[in-house]
Structure 1
Amino acid sequence: MAPLGLTTPARVGSERSVAIAVLAVLAAVSFLPVLLTPIPAMVDYPNHLARMYILSQSGTPDANPHYEVAWAFYPNLGMDLLVPQLARLMSVENATRLFLLLSQLLIVTGALLLEWVRKGRVHLAGFAALAFLYCLPFSWGFVNFEFGLGLALWGIAVYLMLAEGPWPLRLLANTLFVAALYAAHFFSLGIYGATLGLYELSRIHHPRIPYRVAAARLGALALPALVLFGIMQMTAGTIGSEGTSWFFGFKPVWPLRILNGYSLTASAVTGLALMIALLFAARRGVLKLEPTGIWLAIGFALLYLVIPSKLFGTSFADLRVIPAAALILPAFCSLSLPSPAWRMAALAAISGIILINLAIVLAVWLPYRADYAAMIQSFHKIDRGSRILVGDSGDNGDPPFADLTSYPMYYAPTLAVHYANAFVPNLFTEAGKQPVRAREAVRRLAIPYGGPVPSGLLTAIATRQPPADVPPFIRTWYLDYDYLYVLGPPAANPLPELLEVLDISERFVLYKIRRGS
């Protein structure tokens, strides 16, 4: 903690030791959910795991017959490049989980390194990183973004470390990180570029830095990214699908929804308490942003306001700015509380927020071990090579107001692509994002990015009462698919003459589709 007034160096050193010890303990327990759960209960995670199986088994006798691997020069490939290599040494499941753990380690250590480079000590960044370790984008399972953001923190720290050094070394480091971030996740590259661009802009008014030097530094910063985009254009690479959408009504909501991905109440209470505490500290003058931090704070705020919610087919782009700012800004601010009592109270408060979030994560993830095991067991009742449709028995709502504790089951049936060599239309196969695509025979049925189909719609189609805008992939679902998973609490068989019950669990029902019905 920072000394103030007549506080003795010995007392300050003792307080810092306590804070570092608390930080170390919190960091250790914060990684427990990933270590204790074979399949972390994150919305997108089972879908990513299913794709890792396909990539790892491509070209082997166990390769899935419905999918093919198609690499191209596009970003968002962090886990797609690393996990199959790790799977040479361990199971695909463990390799994917190790990638998630590595992503979390990059987030925490990157935030710590960035603060150490700026201040020469660890103070605020570690607690901010742990508070946001299971924030909404991460608990949804945006694992490539999480990995890329952690890598971006390291890249920003290294760049700042070399900021006053020889320009060739700075250019080399920037080039390496730009290339790595482009491969890992495009939006993380954007965060890296925006942060360092704002940093360089904040130096323009420095009397010792001529404008031409500042312009040259900005040009050198942008050059590697421009070269990569040029190569992407020449090789017909893409960045996801077309589509840009703004949902301005959600922008005031996200800051209160961000801290916890599973509990709206806990997220709102802890987020509001944290914002009030920061505003109070700023008004009292004990929390201060350095000049570069002011540039960054204004830049992130403007970026959050103007960036679309959906950009290049990537959803929740604006939401991702919030954890990025929360991880970067602590390195550019100082907190000097007036007494040991205030410092210990602040330490207890942020520790409480971290532990509340962690307790909720464990409360959700641990029970899902049985649910995922039941889902995997049900795959043994499916003929290998079958086509499987996924429906939903209820209306879970849409983020940010939905009960996300049920969402980790959303993509669990996609694991059938491994356990039953099956085709599941919901597997992520979007060009520009994933190097896996459905083969020609089933491509018309694939949904590159989408969730379960409402069971009421499936019933209407089967009883010849479909709405006019039925998607092509389910227009004749009772003829195109062999099995149907209906997610949600078990309910009565809606089509007993067409569907035969094979398995029932607390969170799903598996049906076999009778041909000729």
Structure 2
Amino acid sequence: MTELSAREPSPTSDRARRRNAVVEFLLAHEFSIAFVVLTAIVLVPVFQVAVPPLSDYVNHLARMYVIAVQGKDVHLDQFYKIEWQPIPNLAMDIVVPILARVVDIYRAGQVFTMLTILSLVTGPMAVHRALYGRFNPFPLTAFVILYNGVFLIGLMNYLIGVGVATWGLAFWIALQNSRPIVRMAVSAVFCVVLYVCHLYAVGLYGVTIGAFETWAWASRRFAFDRRLVRSLVVLIVPVLPLVPVLLSSSTWTLAGEYAWFSQSKMDGLSMVFRTYTDAYDLTVLWLAAAAFGWAIHKRLLSAHGAVVPLAAFGAAVFLAMPYTLFGSDMADQRLPVALLVMLVGFVRLDPEDKWSRAGFLVLVIGFALLRVGDVALQWSRIGAIYDDFRASLVDVPRGAKILVAYADEPKGTQAEQDAISHAPCVAMIERSALVSTAFTVKGKQIMTVRRAFRAQVDTEDGVPPTISQLVATSYVHDDEAPRDHFWDKWTDEDDFVFVLYTEREADNPDPSNLDLVHDGKGFQLYKIKH
């Protein structure tokens, strides 16, 4: 009995074996586990609120709803018209209305946002796989920089274009030894998809491939050989059919609208890590920089040779690019985030031992939790404001005409103001309303306002009036007087007024013309007395 008892495994040794088995499993599948965990982390904010509070997002989502119900909503049909044309800004306009056939418009927008996120975080992984033939933990750092100033503005078509362009670069690298006709066909597909996403994404694709080919050419001692000519042909030919398409689109009419500002360059760099709280963002930035510097000091990181021309080309384009291009602002400020997403794919974590890689992945997950946790908290608070906007519309009749105005002295943080700047557009979804700030600029969107209502809304991406400007024009009732602003006849033409950036229990700015309907956090909704 004594010998048999001695041979029986003790409970402690069983637990140790099970623990070791779990550890071995985690270390063997560390990359896959980290990817799943990080994906879950970054998607939490998207699905925790009905409307992700990205500045322009809800305005775009309202247009998606108009497209989805075209011909089925008599009120929206009398206000808005959809004019399909090949403008380079249609990804969301095509995908979300199709998704809205299966789920409601809010869920469809969330799914599109999820697809945008997945394209941005998987693109660097694909580039790294094409360069080195295997996956590596470092590209997962794209999860840490996912939420940034450009993302929070809600430039959804551009962002998904960045993700697709990164995947296009990965395919270009992976097929570099394939037949030219194959590379040309694949590149042509990416060029068409990128044009549909955003015009800037096409340029980004060309710049990054040009940088990679420059590195390849340099590795051949800048020899003017057949391979160089073949690469140039394969790069240029797929883009050529897009030129007449762009020239024939209404977007080309905006080519003369550009402006260059030196200050926007600094703002563009800060957009890479900016979210809501400067102190918090700087703390995380310094911690990440310290970890990155330590890894370089320990020679744990290395980069592919093509990273040098890519960084050089990107910096040159960033400095030369105007702030306003084709009538769209922040053209240059969007670029640093896109370049960083791509550059991540060229960097490799060198140590091969599992414990070093596991430690790095834990660090990435920790930084992602810090970044996303702050965003989730902010979105939860701002999401409640969006719920309040939707609740305020309960007594608004369908087909109402709504004017948006700003408080004379805006209240709240800049982040809050940016987040709710287009929130009144939920009225287009909830009450089939005409909203003065809906995006309807010819050449930028395919939605326009019908002629009967065009004079009373903003069709130029301008700034809404302040409440004092409205009060100043409320006493002018001369039908023959020239119209200087779209709000000049608001007391006669509109039904409701949203006043943004206020505080609760703010005084009625014009009691003779306005009745309070809803007192919300950061806004009031008034009914106009006719």
Q: What residue identity is the alignment partner of 1:150?
A: G
Distance 1:48 1:110 in 2: 25
From 235, 242, 246, the equivalent of 1:232 is 246
Question: Could you state the TM-score of these two structures normalised by the residue count of structure 1?
Answer: 0.88
From 337, 346, 364, the equivalent of 1:323 is 337
Q: Is the counterpart of residue 445 in structure 1 residue 460 in structure 2?
A: no
From 236, 250, 254, the equivalent of 2:264 is 250
Deviation at 1:340, TM superposition (A): 8.4
What does 1:196-215 correspond to in 2, within 5 Å? 196-207=209-220, 210-215=224-229
Pairwise CA RMSD: 2.9
Helix, strand or coil for the counterpart of 1:96? Answer: helix
From 503, 506, 520, the equivalent of 1:505 is 520
Deviation at 1:120, TM superposition (A): 2.3
Deviation at 1:310, TM superposition (A): 1.7
From 66, 88, 113, the equivalent of 1:75 is 88
Deviation at 1:471, TM superposition (A): 5.4
Distance 1:329 1:140 in 2: 22
Q: Is the counterpart of residue 53 in structure 1 residue 68 in structure 2?
A: no
Q: Is the counterpart of residue 454 in structure 1 residue 454 in structure 2?
A: no
Tell me if structure 1 keeps the 8 A contact 2:324–2:331: yes
CA separation of 1:475 and 1:236: change in aligned 2, threshold 3 A = closer
Deviations 1:34-72 (A, max 9, x none): 122221111111111110111011122445011100111
Question: Could you state the TM-score of these two structures normalised by the residue count of structure 2?
Answer: 0.86
Distance 1:236 1:509 in 2: 37
Q: What residue identity is the alignment partner of 1:218?
A: L
Q: Is the counterpart of residue 92 in structure 1 residue 69 in structure 2?
A: no
Helix, strand or coil for the counterpart of 1:381? Answer: coil
Distance 1:506 1:74 in 2: 37
Distance 1:169 1:394 in 2: 59
Helix, strand or coil for the counterpart of 1:311? Answer: coil
Tell me the residue number matched to 1:128.
Answer: 141
Distance 1:507 1:236 in 2: 37
Q: Is the counterpart of residue 114 in structure 1 residue 127 in structure 2?
A: yes
Deviation at 1:137, TM superposition (A): 0.9
Tell me if structure 2 keeps the 8 A contact 1:43–1:409: yes
Helix, strand or coil for the counterpart of 1:510? Answer: strand
Distance 1:41 1:253 in 2: 21
Tell me if structure 1 keeps the 8 A contact 2:82–2:447: yes
Q: What residue identity is the alignment partner of 1:511?
A: Y
Distance 2:274 2:368 in 1: 10
Tell me the residue number matched to 2:56.
Answer: 44
Deviation at 1:102, TM superposition (A): 1.0
Deviation at 1:78, TM superposition (A): 0.3
Distance 1:397 1:134 in 2: 25
Distance 1:435 1:410 in 2: 21
Deviation at 1:439, TM superposition (A): 0.5
Deviation at 1:224, TM superposition (A): 2.0
Distance 2:101 2:184 in 1: 34
What does 1:145-224 correspond to in 2, within 5 Å? 145-207=158-220, 210-224=224-238
Distance 1:341 1:252 in 2: 39
Deviation at 1:338, TM superposition (A): 11
Tell me the residue number matched to 2:392.
Answer: 378
Deviations 1:386-433 (A, max 9, x none): 2211112255599xxx62133221111112123222211210112222
Tell me the residue number matched to 2:307.
Answer: 293
Tell me the residue number matched to 1:6.
Answer: none
Unaligned runs of 5+ in 2: 1-22, 477-482
Helix, strand or coil for the counterpart of 1:31? Answer: helix
Deviations 1:114-161 (A, max 9, x none): 211112233245432211221111111111112111111211111211
Deviation at 1:228, TM superposition (A): 0.8
What does 1:346-495 correspond to in 2, within 5 Å? 346-393=360-407, 395=409, 403-448=414-459, 449-462=461-474, 472-488=485-501, 489-490=503-504, 491-495=506-510
Q: Is the counterpart of residue 312 in structure 1 residue 331 in structure 2?
A: no
Distance 1:381 1:68 in 2: 26
Higher gyration radius (CA): 2
CA separation of 1:322 and 1:498: change in aligned 2, threshold 3 A = same
Moved more, 238-247 or 69-78: 238-247
Tell me the residue number matched to 1:467.
Answer: none
Distance 1:36 1:53 in 2: 21
Percentage of pairs with the same residue: 27
Tell me if structure 2 keeps the 8 A contact 1:256–1:272: no
Q: Is the counterpart of residue 103 in structure 1 residue 130 in structure 2?
A: no
Moved more, 472-481 or 206-215: 206-215
Distance 2:132 2:102 in 1: 39
Q: What residue identity is the alignment partner of 2:522?
A: R
Distance 1:337 1:150 in 2: 28
Deviations 1:338-374 (A, max 9, x none): 9988766654543332111111111121233432222
Q: What residue identity is the alignment partner of 1:353?
A: F
CA separation of 1:425 and 1:363: change in aligned 2, threshold 3 A = same
Distance 1:170 1:338 in 2: 33
Distance 1:24 1:344 in 2: 15
Q: Is the counterpart of residue 35 in structure 1 residue 29 in structure 2?
A: no
Distance 1:56 1:505 in 2: 29
Deviations 1:207-258 (A, max 9, x none): 3964343133123212222221123324555375742122212323433342
CA separation of 1:181 and 1:396: change in aligned 2, threshold 3 A = farther
**Number of matched residues?**
498
Moved more, 240-249 or 476-485: 240-249
Distance 2:300 2:237 in 1: 39
CA separation of 1:364 and 1:394: change in aligned 2, threshold 3 A = farther
Deviations 1:239-284 (A, max 9, x none): 7574212221232343334224222222233234434554565566
Tell me if structure 2 keeps the 8 A contact 1:66–1:442: yes
Tell me if structure 2 keeps the 8 A contact 1:281–1:287: yes
